[in-house]
Chains A and B, each alone.
Chain A
Amino acid sequence: MSTRARVIRGFEFAGLDLFVPFIRLFSGENPREQVATIVRTFGTPLVAIAVFLCAWSAIAASIETSIGAVPGPVAVWEEAKNLVAEHRQERQKEAEFYVRMEKLKEQYAAQGRPWKDRKYSGKPTYFDQIWTSLETVFAGFIIASLVAVPVGILCGLSPTFYAAVNPLIQVFKPVSPLAWLPIVMILVSGLYTSENPMFEKSFISSAVTVALCSLWPTLVNTALGVAAVDRDYLNVARVLKLSWWRTVTKIVIPSSLPLIFTGLRLSLGVGWMVLIAAEMLAQNPGLGKFVWDMFQNGSSQTLAQIMVAVATIGIIGFLLDRMMISLQRLVSYDAAAV
């Protein structure tokens, strides 16, 4: 394989198919066709985004609310820059705090007084909140996967088991996160009573709610993938007299991996959507709580800040999806078929 083909493979694998025409263009491969592709894949979305921003700007200016005019794209962009600046400030304050503490510690040591380490307790910045949200969604997603994949495999392997649990799946699947959350919160505060908790209760409640809502797509897709394993592959296992466990691990799971990953990808998408609602109510210090706090604030910046959050949530959701697509390609043996 040539270097160029390797680079293109890599880009495609990373889910960056959009940029492949640029590589082809720079390597001088059929420039006319590449330019046409670039105009189609980049030009048209850029035009659409520009139209959207203009319309937003025009409509926003004409709507007056109790807390001021609806911010246009420029105001939202300014607010985003503010949030970044705030974050930098806070980090600097934190660094200064630790420098002070270090000096104080030396003084105490010199005077022979006992010293106790103290942690900086500034308010979490926007980026801290994003990080918390990501941690929470992945915690919930991992719990969901650990439950959904094995149960899904059992469902796919045994029609009897599937018939038994199918009504439960169908009933619990459409339940809204807002209905689960109060139950989960009460259960968590009842059951998770540690003196020195490793996790915040709000974190656990949010993660468990995410898990409850996001495990269904993985469960259903896994069951489907396992039930649809090609009979020929199972015949191979029968001729070799593979044990039940080896048939499952060597034939059934590899063969259904593409569908399992489709399920996981859908689950992560659902989880990210559910998370914001869960964080709002559970007061988990992530993006959901940020939106809720800004809403309670009711300042002139409220709308702009919430819009920044909306954009952030959207972009992160998009990136998570791209990540899962790349993972899906990694395990999908069909993709190797040229």
Chain B
Amino acid sequence: MTASAAILDDVGSQPAVDDSFFSLQAVSKSYGDSWNRTEVLSGVNLGISEGEFVAIVGFSGSGKTTLVSLMGGLIEPDSGSILLGGAPVQGPGPDRGIVFQNYSLLPWLNVRDNVALAVDEIFSDWSASDRENQVRRFVEMVNLGEAMEKYPAELSGGMRQRVSVARALATNPKILLLDEPLSALDALTRATLQDEIERIWEEDRKTVLLITNDVDEAILLADRIIPLSPGPRATLGPSFPVRLERPRDRKAINHDPEFKKVRNMVTQYLMDAAASVRSQTYTAPVSLPDVQPADLSAPRISIVR
């Protein structure tokens, strides 16, 4: 533990939760009935300031999607509270725009109408032309102005995810929740979209919470990285600030000592957390059957005449 303790000296031990813009306080969530109960998230504390870009990094199956569903209000926590701008959140709402992992575009609507569905609902008191401009502005912001009339089935995965981002941003949410938005994309598209997300964030400095399993992606985009220890009973670790100048160039930062340091710290923390979970889990020794490989050089009796 000495190595990670030394690393931990460098970072804020626990995130401040009091006067944050968006905060989770001792949030827990279990699944299953009383007989077979699994606590997925346990005592999660989190505080995000306005305009901050925070990344939560965790392994698959550590409860990342449960966490984002809780923040989005799609599911209710068993205990603890979630506050946005000081007020507790009640159910889902347009103040927390969610970009889902699987895009969740409506396949019977084209790009324009997918975004317009959200804009028309949230800004129903605007004039038709204002709403149309809002749709156009955000579709163009994600560089899809040419694809306005296309249907989701005609778009690539990366383009679909851009539409999803445009839809979430166009409703002007107070915070944008990105639930592994790039995990279904190939490496090249992924890199392009990472740059795009950074550019968009630079443009309007929205409060963003990114959930990802990619440490590099988190470092490239976020102001602060918080690892999620592997579940069950997953919880958030200490936060690791990323002190890299923006805009960040993905090629240049690869050699940046700060990048390497943060990367090592986060990875080390996650590995240690995983190891401690594994050591707590009892695994029965597997007894292997005592078999010897057949001796093929021995003379064989043919049964085929």
Residues of B within 8 A of A241 (CB): 92-94, 121
Determine, out of A88-96, A174-182, A329-337, the stretch whose residues face the partner at the interface.
Answer: A329-337
By the criterion CB–CB under 8 Å, are B74 and A250 in contact? no
Docked complex: A227-285 residues within 8 A CB-CB of B: 232-233, 235-236, 238-242, 246, 250-251, 254-255, 257
Cβ contacts under 8 Å, B91 to chain A? 238
With most chain A CB atoms within 10 A of its CB, the pick from B107, B118, B122 is B107
**Minimum Cβ distance to chain A for residue B166 (Å):** 14
A333 contacts across to B, CB distance below 8 A: 107-108, 151, 153
Q: Given A233-B104, A255-B106, decide whether A240 and B154 contact each other with a Cβ distance below 8 A.
A: no
- Specify which chain B residues have a CB less than 8 angstroms from the CB of A233 in the assembled complex: 104, 106
Query: Are A240's CB and B122's CB within 8 A?
Result: yes
CB distance from B112 to the nearest CB of A (A): 15
Q: What secondary structure prevails in chain B residues at the interface with A?
A: loop
Chain A facing B: main interface SS:
helix
A241 to B97: give the CA distance in the assembly, Å: 12
Q: Is B21 an interface residue (CB 8 A)?
A: no
A175 to chain B, nearest CB (A): 36
Note all chain A residues with C-beta closer than 8 A to B92. Answer: 235, 238-239, 241
A240–B100 touching, CB < 8 Å: no
Within 8 Å CB of A334, what residues of B? 107, 153
Judge whether B118 and A232 touch: CB under 8 Å: no
Contacts of B104 in A (CB 8 A): 232-233, 235-236
Determine whether A338 belongs to the interface, using a CB cutoff of 8 Å to chain B: yes
Decide if B151 touches A240 in the complex (CB within 8 Å): no
The CA of A251 and the CA of B151, in the complex, are separated in Å by 16
- 0/1 per residue, B91-126, Cβ < 8 Å to A? 111101110101010111100000001100110000
Q: Quick one: CB contact mask for A305-338 with B, threshold 8 Å, 1 for yes?
A: 0000000000000000000000000000110111
B47 within 8 A of partner (CB): no
Residues of B within 8 A of A236 (CB): 104, 106
Q: Bound state CA distance, A250 and B121, in angstroms? A: 11
Q: Is the CB of A240 within 8 A of B117?
A: yes
Closest B residue to A251 using CB positions:
B106
B side interface size, CB within 8 A:
25
Whether, in the assembled complex, B171 has its beta carbon less than 8 Å from a beta carbon of chain A, the answer is yes
Assess the B153–A337 pair: CB atoms within 8 A: yes
A72 and B66 alpha carbons, distance in the complex (Å): 72
Query: Are A338 and B100 also in contact (CB < 8 A) when A240-B118, A241-B94 are?
Result: no
- The answer to whether B72 has its CB under 8 Å from any CB of chain A is yes
Contact check, B121 vs A235: say whether CB atoms are below 8 A apart. no
Contact with B along A162-177 (1 / 0, CB 8 A): 0000000000000000
Contact B121 A254 (CB under 8 A): no
Q: In whole angstroms, how far apart are the Cα atoms of A336 and B151 in the complex? A: 8
Contact check, B108 vs A254: say whether CB atoms are below 8 A apart: yes
Please measure, in the bound complex, the distance between the C-alpha atom of A337 and the C-alpha atom of B171, giving whole angstroms.
Answer: 28
- Residues on the A chain within 8 Å of B122, using CB: 240
Contacts of A254 in B (CB 8 A): 106, 108-109
* Chain A residue with Cβ nearest B118: A240
- Complex-state Cα separation, A251 to B104, whole angstroms: 12
Residues of B within 8 A of A251 (CB): 106
| Cα A209 to Cα B91 with chains together (Å) | 48
Q: Are B154 and A250 in contact (CB under 8 A)?
A: no
Q: Which of A232, A239, A257, A337 touches B72 (beta carbons < 8 Å)?
A: A239
A183-215, CB under 8 A of B: which get 1 and which 0? 000000000000000000000000000000000
Are A338 and B108 interface neighbours, CB within 8 A?
A: no
Contacts of B106 in A (CB 8 A): 233, 236, 251, 254-255
Which 5 A-B pairs rank lowest in CB-CB distance, beginning with the nearest?
A: A337-B153, A333-B108, A232-B104, A238-B92, A333-B107
Pick 14 A–B contacts, CB within 8 A, sort by A: A232-B100, A235-B74, A239-B94, A239-B96, A240-B118, A241-B92, A241-B93, A241-B94, A241-B121, A251-B106, A255-B108, A333-B107, A334-B107, A337-B153
